[in-house]
Structure 1
Amino acid sequence: MPEIPLDHVHVAPDDDPENAPAVFVLHGRGADEEDLLPVARHLPDDLHVISLRAPDPLQGGYTWYELDLSAGGLEESQPDAADFRRSLDLVAESVEAAAEAYDLDADRVGLLGFSQGAITSLSLALEEPDRYAWVVALHGYLADAHADRGPDGIEGKPVFVGAGTGDRVIPESRSVAAADRFEAIGADVTRGSYPGGHGIGQEELADLVAFVESQTA
């Protein structure tokens, strides 16, 4: 079995795990690989769930990268370039290794990220659109480093973008801008804005589950 670079939790499908579709789950800043498992439990039973742990310890949890606050504070922050590049590579390497280790259907691999995990997921989708069949990005934004990426391979890609109307960590406007950009380059975008702050409420959960079910049916 190949070594998977990032620590993770793997939940196999209930039936016939060989060549089954999969979702890679990327948590937010200061959380860990267990954080989004309650969300993943609502997803279809025929999915492999591989929830990855970010590489760097932070406040009892982990982070994908440090923040560049030079633009004026948390609400305008960007990923630190070197950290971000390292995490993007580690996730891509982990997806490749896990596909072999767990006999995944490589043509039916999705990404589901929250906050930093959403930012990472959107960038991965632009870097290697052929690797990911669909993307869920909750309460994130499109990093400046990838804002000008062209449409090659992203046309028609199903992308779900969720935002919180009262989110003070990643304002709704940043998630809306990410959805607008993906629409502009031809992705098939489903978007939702939900009451509340930097978290996943029941309405948002129901919509993302419906989106994933539509991609894996």
Structure 2
Amino acid sequence: MSEIPLQHIHVAPDHGFDDELAPAVFVLHGRGADEEDLLPVARHLPDELHVVSLRAPDPLQGGYTWYELDLSAGGLESSQPHAAEFRRSLDLVAESVDAAVESYGLDPDRLGLLGFSQGAITSLSLALEDPDRYAWVVALHGYLADAHANLEPAGIEGKPVFVGAGAGDRVIPESRSTAAADRFDEIGAAVTRGSYPGGHGIGQQELRDVVAFVESQVAEEA
């Protein structure tokens, strides 16, 4: 078994697959949270999925963060990831995905990403850096980092991407999530959008839409 660089929680499917490799979702939490934060969301996803919930590398206020914020463009609403720390976290997630595929018997062709806030920003960037690695992406209350905004990788065409945003989100305004969805539309991804009345959190309707999206992806892969 390969050592997985990031601390994590692994939840195996409810039923066995014998010798068949199983699909998986890699879950990336938001700033100041940890690998347990999104497990209540993951529990609603299809039973046949492995869930690998990763912990960000740096401690922050009782939780963890994927990177510090670059506020040089203005306030929080204009923030960008700190370049060096962002690069490190992207590499750590990619290495953890590769190691988990080997360690847990995951199907390398049926891997999804589900991220919230910083985890969504990280997920969108990973999808652009290596679109063939991920079958689908869920990005909730995030944005597309400037460092990746101009990428147009081969393999992104038709990639299913769900982008969820909060109309009342004061941490990451809906306009930033909408801009990310627009960009993925421009480069040919199959974008599903969701706008919800709440703030920086996942409400019940958003959860239902995410579950329906993931169910449809897992059914198509089967």
- The TM tier, using the shorter chain, reads over 0.9
Q: Report whether the alignment pairs 1:77 with 2:97.
A: no
Match of 1:94 in 2: 96
Aligned length: 217
Letter in 2 for 1:211: F
Runs of 4+ residues over 2 Å off in structure 1:
none
Q: Does structure 1 residue 15 correspond to structure 2 residue 21?
A: no
* 1:1-217 correspondence to structure 2 within 5 Å: 1-17=1-17, 18-217=20-219
1:24·1:52 contact (CA, 8 Å) conserved in 2? Answer: yes
Whole-angstrom CA distance in 1 between matches of 2:204 and 2:184 = 25
Question: Contact 2:8–2:54 (CA<8 Å) still a contact in 1?
Answer: yes
| RMSD of aligned alpha carbons | 0.6
Separation in 2 of the partners of 1:150 and 1:91?
21
Looking at structure 1, the residues matched to 201 and 182 of structure 2 have their Cα atoms a distance apart, in angstroms, of 21
Q: Which amino acid aligns with 2:110?
A: R
Shift of 1:15: 1.0
Q: Is the Cα contact below 8 Å between 2:163 and 2:191 reproduced in 1? A: yes
Letter in 1 for 2:95: E
Q: Structure 1 regions of 5+ residues with no counterpart?
A: none
Distance 1:152 1:81 in 2: 24
CA distance in 2, matches of 1:3, 1:25: 18
Compute the TM-score of the two structures, normalised by the length of structure 1.
0.99
Measure, in 2, the Cα distance between the counterparts of 1:14 and 1:197: 33
Tell me if structure 1 keeps the 8 A contact 2:129–2:153: no
Does structure 1 retain, via aligned residues, the 8 Å contact 2:131–2:153? Answer: no
Contact kept in structure 1, 2:115 and 2:139, CA below 8 Å: yes
For residues 68 and 136 of structure 1, the distance between their equivalents in structure 2, rounded to whole angstroms, comes to 24
Q: What TM-score does the superposition give when structure 2 sets the normalisation length? A: 0.97
Unmatched segments (≥5 aa) in structure 2: none
Letter of the 1:134 partner, please give it: W
CA distance in 1, matches of 2:53, 2:205: 22
